[in-house]
Amino acid sequence: RVGAGPAFLAEIRQLVAGFEEEAGQESALVGVSSPGFANREGSAIVSMPGRLDGLEGLEW
């Protein structure tokens, strides 16, 4: 864990920041794909047992 979130979240945010810096602008949208079942809003994975600890319930 890094702070309040899982370590992979900090890595992804750093990666996106690098892309934005290279492009010279902020990203309007960022797509992330993962296995599991999404909530009704599509904003979080609600069920993904036994995989990537910390992803279930994570609000990006």
pLDDT in tens, 17-48: 999 999 999 998 888 788 889 899 988 889 98
Does the residue 58 lie in any domain? no
Identify whether 34 is part of a domain: yes
Which pLDDT value is given to residue 4? 72
Residue 60 lies in a domain: no
Cβ neighbours of residue 46 closer than 8 Å, sequence gap 6 or more: 36, 37, 38, 39, 56, 57
Domain enclosing residue 35, as ranges: 7-47
In a domain, 53, yes or no: no
In a domain, 52, yes or no: no
Can you give the pLDDT at residue 53? 77
In a domain, 25, yes or no: yes
**What total of structural domains would you count in the chain?**
1
Confidence (pTM): 0.64
